[in-house]
Structure 1
Amino acid sequence: MYQKLFKDVQKRRIFEHHQKVLIAVSGGVDSMNLLHFLYSYRDRLAITISIAHVNHKQRPESDEEEAYLRQWAQDHQVPIFVSYFQGTFSEKAARDFRYRFFEQVMREHGITALTTAHHADDQAETVLMRIIKGSRLRHLAAIKSVQPFAQGEVIRPFLPFSKSDLPSVFHFEDSSNQSSTYFRNRIRNRYIPELATENPQFQTALTRLASESQTLFQAFADLTRDIDGQSCSVFLAQTPAVQELLLQGYLEQFEDLSLSHGQFEDLLQVIRNPQKADYALKEDYVLKKREGRYEIKKISPKTDLLSQDKVLEYGNIATFDDYQISFNQVLSGAELIVEVFSDSPILLRRRQSGDRINFGDFSKKLRRLFIDQKVSKENRQKAIVGEQDGEIIFVLVAGKTYLRKPPKHGIMKGKIYIES
């Protein structure tokens, strides 16, 4: 079987650009097979290997597994790096911890490839999990054989093969794999076997769906490679279907920004609107649309008080300078209450060139407003602007408040409470 795996790896040339390879080893049968395979073929693949292991401290066998791997590494003269999980345990927390550790090891030791033992069964489980959760079609591509990671790539040599294809080697059994507490275990032990009674090739069908989805969106990316999708004029020249897929593709680069279907539709409408915009998203991300282009940026905390921006979501409270500002949470000491007619996040920021506030019968640039009101230059720099859906809804400056004229037929969706 290892010879068959080796021929497949050679055919796909997945290690062609790598010399140092880190192997993620848990101690289970899949990762132990990966360790044995890459150790056996390291010379023919022209790679040096090392082991990364995380002791999650969740089972009595955890220390025994670590001790075995340390001894194996010593006997075979293979470097091993071990870390110990910290924090409140969950599937996601454990996975995030592992991959942060893998990335750290790679950066510190100049390693360009991380290998994991994911196989076709894992792929099928992941696809079904995402279908149940309502993921977008593009995310049914699920696990990829090779994808960027850290300063190199994460490679999954076993992905085209089923778990049953792997030889039986010494390994540790994880009793928690039988627990129904975890979603993946319910998928693996209950849902897939049940659905396989309707279609014995159900698992194969899921992996084929993942492959076709990946091919489809790769084809779309290839065909639109020369389209500048961040140019508003170019974007709007496309059909609505192409616009949607272009925006989906652009969002893929922001791994920690996960928008619901409704939030995505709202974002799409902001881009289609001809007006400039600073539209607050989740996780401190903001869409900025200026001079015919749009881009999404993450607001980073800065030491310069006059530069910081904050996103205030519905039901939350934010501190900005000496102010406590809440969105629909009552502050007993609030000195100002502002009615709002949308539940979209509010961007709290400093004033920008060209800012304008709408007073109903007329609108005025903040620069002219401040001049007319004899606001000093120092206080102008300290002005706080509240923006929602691309429009300024309030300005706090020099102890005064300026409010946007409410929409004529607007329905109040909440209140902003401001306390100094």
Structure 2
Amino acid sequence: MIREKLLLHLRKQALWERDQAILLAVSGGVDSMVLFDLLIKSPDLYQHLAVAYVDHQLRDQTKAEKELVQKICAQHQIPFFSTTWTPTNHNVEANARTFRYTFFESILQTKEYDVLLTAHHLNDQAETLIMKLIREGQLFALKSLVAKQSFSQTKYLIRPLLTVKKVELYQYATENQIEFYEDESNQGDAYTRNRIRKYIIPQLTKENQRALEHIHQVSEQTAYAQQLIEEEYAEWSKKIIVKNKSYWCIDLTQLHALSKAKQYYFWEYLRLESFVQISQKQVEQVRRLLGKNTSQWQLDLANQIKIKRRYDKLWIIIEETRSKIEHEPFQLCLNQTYRLSEYEQIGIFASTQLPDWQADYQVHLAPQEEFWLRKKQPGDRIWLTNKLYKKISRFLIDRKIPLEARENGWVLENKDKNLLAFLPFVCSYLSIGKETDKIHYVLLYKYKK
């Protein structure tokens, strides 16, 4: 009965094409040995079958396991691939898994198999979901395992037994006299997964025999919910985020127009998708700061990462170490180009002698005996009109110019220390050239990367 049920289960799923070559991961345990037997009895489901085995050297019986798998492969003329892993002193589970799947991937690529099959089952699904819930506390961690996923470029990883209970695999093994080995390391309490398997899963199924199916349903629902929110996030991010290789700029006006629920998941996906590593704690800190409604603030994270609010924009930036040349006030001689930093340059030219480089800022200047350039100082004022003499700092605040832009600006003045401009934001009415001037000067300033 169970044999027919599982064979029908394999056929109904149709997770791979019948003309594809299959690589089956076999450990010698009941799960993979049952799947191995099912495939041997269903040669019409694939074009070619091979087996991959990894000796993790974590228990004494691995030699016997390998010999068993190798013997069955020889009986059915099935190609057998094996390798041996040297255990590490830490992160044993994670390192073993990485080694295992790297080995499988190398076979898929070099031997031209199409899909990798593993014998993960319903109990594995529940164990994984519970473990992620305990460790991560994230909704989308609960999507757990899937029956089919991309693996190694054009290949696929397929788990055909994902809705089958472990007890059914034992039943199949008993009824069909399948030889297998129990993994002794699964019996101890050293690993989290083992404790979940031994204590939590039995208690859940004792409360409700369909507990495992319900956990699988939650996992499936979560996966679809994630897909739906991902599609929504893609639309939000197009409108809200400007992306560059060294920064992301978030439009806070557009973000705050979203519902609270959408804003919550915006931040969740931003954290996961961001081009820099941002922790859950840091996201919560950003949200608290935004809630205070302060127009400008900055968070300094590791690795030169900065999160800055500048009025209605939030910037996530990898701040480069900029080799800006520090200057005392210096004179700008006519018709010469001066390099101010890696990407900044400036010059004042006669209109008949303009250079061939492209400026980001250009203005006609009234003739002066001398032009001087320096950094902004406290108390600097500029004549905006013949009646309006205003502090540069107040002008910048009124215009909501971000702090970095203020610091990067340059003061242009004449020999009498009258401010002609604060570049690239404002010019004094005293500096503007007139059409009646006999000599026409043009200031060119390049400041964008």
TM (normalized to structure 1)?
A: 0.62
Moved more, 221-230 or 158-167: 221-230
Question: How far did 1:159 drift?
Answer: 0.5
Q: Secondary structure of 1:148's match?
A: strand
The whole-number CA distance in structure 2 between the counterparts of 1:53 and 1:157 is 18
231-240 vs 21-30, which deviates more? 231-240
Shift of 1:130: 2.0
The percentage of aligned residue pairs carrying the same residue is 28
Are residue 53 (structure 1) and residue 53 (structure 2) matched? yes
Unaligned runs of 5+ in 1: 298-346, 352-365, 382-389, 393-420
CA distance change for structure 1 residues 254 and 227 in 2, over 3 Å: closer, same or farther?
Answer: closer
2:120 corresponds, among 114, 118, 121, to 118
2-structure distance, mates of 1:48, 1:251: 43
Greater C-alpha Rg: 2
Is 1:172 the counterpart of 2:181? The answer is: yes
Q: How does 1:245-264 map to 2 (within 5 A)?
A: 245-249=265-269, 260-264=279-283
| Matched residue SS, 1:22 | strand
Alignment of 1:341-360 (within 5 A): 349-351=320-322
Letter in 1 for 2:108: M
Q: 1:194 aligns with which of 194, 203, 206?
A: 203
Provide structure 2 residue ranges, at least 5 long, that are not aligned to the other structure: 243-249, 331-337, 344-402, 406-449
Task: Quickly say closer, same or farther: Cα 1:199–1:11, change in 2 above 3 A.
Answer: closer
Flag the 1:67–1:197 CA change in 2: closer, same or farther, 3 A: closer
Task: Provide the secondary structure at the position in 2 that maps to 1:88.
Answer: coil
Quick one: distance in 1 between partners of 2:85 and 2:321?
Answer: 41
Instruction: Report the TM-score, using the length of structure 2 for normalisation.
Output: 0.58
RMSD: 4.3
- Provide closer, same or farther for how the CA distance between residues 131 and 28 of structure 1 changes in structure 2, counting only shifts above 3 A: same
- Structure 1 pair 280/24, CA: closer, same or farther in 2 (3 Å)? farther
Q: Per-residue displacement from partner, 1:339-382 (whole Å, max 9, x unpaired)?
A: xxxxxxxx68443xxxxxxxxxxxxxx64x445599x99x979x
Matched-pair contact (CA < 8 Å) for 1:130–1:139: yes
Alpha carbons of structure 1 residues 251 and 285: separation in structure 2 relative to 1, 3 Å = farther
**1:99-248 alignment runs, 5 A limit:** 99-151=101-153, 152-166=155-169, 167-168=172-173, 169-224=178-233, 226-229=235-238, 230-231=241-242, 232-233=250-251, 238-248=258-268
- The size of the alignment, in residue pairs, is 315
Deviations 1:110-150 (A, max 9, x none): 33321111111111111222222242011111111112221
- Kept in 2, the 8 Å contact 1:228–1:235? The answer is no
Please tell me whether the aligned partners of residues 233 and 269 of structure 2 are also in contact (alpha carbons under 8 angstroms). no
User: Take 2:25 and 2:107, find their aligned partners in 1: how far apart are those partners?
Assistant: 11
Provide the secondary structure at the position in 2 that maps to 1:34: helix
Partner of 1:64: 64
Q: Secondary structure in 2 aligned to 1:144?
A: coil
Structure 1 residues 185 and 270, CA gap change in structure 2 (3 angstroms)? same
Q: Which digits, 9 at most, give the CA deviation of each residue in 1:173-228, with x for residues without a partner? A: 11221101111111111122234444444333322222222222223334555454
Question: What SS is found at the alignment partner of 2:120?
Answer: coil
How far the C-alpha of 1:109 sits from its partner, in A, is 2.3
Structure 2 CA distance for partners of 1:135 and 1:150, relative to 1, 3 Å: farther
Amino acid paired to 1:63 = K
Task: Supply the AA of the counterpart residue of 1:213.
Answer: T
The secondary structure found in structure 2 opposite 1:238 is coil
Q: Report the 3-state secondary structure (helix = DSSP H, G, I; strand = E; otherwise coil) of the residue aligned with 2:113.
A: coil
* Partner-residue secondary structure (3-state), 2:50: strand
Partner letter of residue 23 of structure 1? L
Cross-structure match for 2:84: 84
Residue aligned with 1:51, SS:
strand
Classify the secondary structure of the residue corresponding to 1:96: helix
Higher alpha-carbon deviation: 29-38 or 62-71 = 62-71
Q: Deviations over 1:256-315 (max 9, x none)?
A: x9865313435778999999999756xx796999xx999999xxxxxxxxxxxxxxxxxx
Native 8 Å contact 1:18 1:113 kept in 2: no
